[in-house]
Amino acid sequence: METVTTIAAVRERVCRWHAEGRRVAFVPTMGNLHAGHVSLIETARRHGERFVASIFVNPMQFGPNEDFAHYPRTPAQDARMLAEAGCDLMFMPDVLEIYPNGSQRATRVEVPGLSDILCGEFRPGHFEGVATVVAKLFHIVDPDVAVFGEKDFQQLTIIRRMVADLCMPVTLVGAPTVREPDGLAMSSRNQYLTDEERRKAPLIHRTLHAAADRLRAGERDFADIERAGTQALERAGFRPDYFAVRRADDLGSPGADTRHLVVLTAARLGRARLIDNLRING
């Protein structure tokens, strides 16, 4: 695997692969890789012939009181894991390479409606930062396929919409959430949990399951299902931002006859903000 830090170097490698007729698959990440990210590369390997991963902690998607400065950065370990997973090119730019004029006044990509609900309501500007950096990375890498984890379901929905609206020539692939044996969704932020919080954290997944079971059984009192989920998390000491049943296609409010549903939650536990979701196909 080769490591590059400049836009020019990525473009040169990918242009060469495209000229050889190779299909290029891309996995954007913020580094501190774990088994969940490795599964994204494995998914990419089923969809392409050359593989690019980016490692970039994007300042634009962090709020002023969020963990940008402390976000875990482990570049040497990331490089080892990507090489072992069969990645061909690791793109690890610094902030100036991506935002040469600073990120505050940079041109932005907004996906209104989808960006200001659920996590967007509690993290204003977050999805604008995500959409902007992903659009920039797509312009830089020019992939045929890009892979995103379904754990960040709202993020994937927003990126799908951006790609459709801006006619970007890239195929998006969602990869299933990778979980610890006790059901906790893998996330770099799990390391913020104390031992006691870590023991509690899988309750998020169990609470989503309880809601999904009710929906699968045909219940359609969404407000009651949301209330029960919120209260179960609160009783265990979580501070839920939301526990919501939505249409899986566009995150709108479902009706009694909506077939594809998703239950999503974001909840704080100690220093960590955990997110997870489950889909229900009727």
Answer yes or no whether residue 134 interacts with ligand PAF by CB under 6 A. Answer: yes
Give, in order, the Cα–Cα distances in Å from 172 to each of 47, 140, 143, 161. Answer: 10, 16, 10, 11
Longest dimension (CA), the chain: 58
187 near ligand PAF (CB under 6 A): no
Enumerate residues 6+ apart whose C-beta is below 8 A from 29. 37, 40, 53, 54, 55, 56, 78
Residues 40 to 59 in contact with ligand PAF, rule: CB under 6 A? 58
Which stretch, 28-36, 104-112, 200-208, 214-222, contacts ligand PAF (CB under 6 A)? 28-36
- Residue number with CB closer to ligand PAF (61 or 177): 61
Classify strands 2-4 and 89-91 as parallel, antiparallel or unpaired.
parallel
One of 10, 25, 30, 163 touching ligand PAF (CB under 6 A) = 30
User: Contact between 28 and ligand PAF (CB under 6 A)?
Assistant: yes
Site string for ligand PAF, 144-163 (x = CB under 6 A): --------x--x--------
Q: Work out how close the CB of 55 gets to ligand PAF at its nearest, in angstroms, rounded to a whole number.
A: 9
Active site residue 37: yes
Whole-angstrom Cα distance, residue 25 to residue 237? 41
Query: Does position 39 bind ligand PAF by CB under 6 A?
Result: no
> How many CB atoms are closer than 10 A to CB 172?
15
Beta carbon nearer to ligand PAF, 61 or 115: 61
How many H helices and E strands in the chain? 10, 9
Closest C-alpha to 244, from 259, 219, 223, 275? 223
Quote the least distance from Cβ 145 to ligand PAF, whole Å. Answer: 15
- DSSP string computed for 24-53: EEEEEE-S---HHHHHHHHHHHTT-SEEEE
Q: Interface with ligand PAF includes 29 (CB under 6 A)? A: yes
* Catalytic entry in 18, 37, 70, 139: 37
Quick one: which of 14, 130, 168, 262 contacts ligand PAF (CB under 6 A)? 130
| Interface segment toward ligand PAF; rule CB under 6 A; list 27-35, 71-79, 232-240, 272-280 | 27-35
Q: Which is nearer to ligand PAF, 107 or 281 (CB)?
A: 107
Residues 41 and 31: their CA atoms lie apart, in Å, by 13
CB-based contacts of 94, cutoff 8 Å, min separation 6: 5
**In this structure, is the dihedral angle defined by the CA atoms of residues 265, 173, 41 and 181, taken in order, positive or negative?**
positive
Q: Which residues are catalytic?
A: 37
Q: Which residues bind ligand PAF (CB under 6 A)?
A: 28-30, 58, 61, 130, 133-134, 152, 155
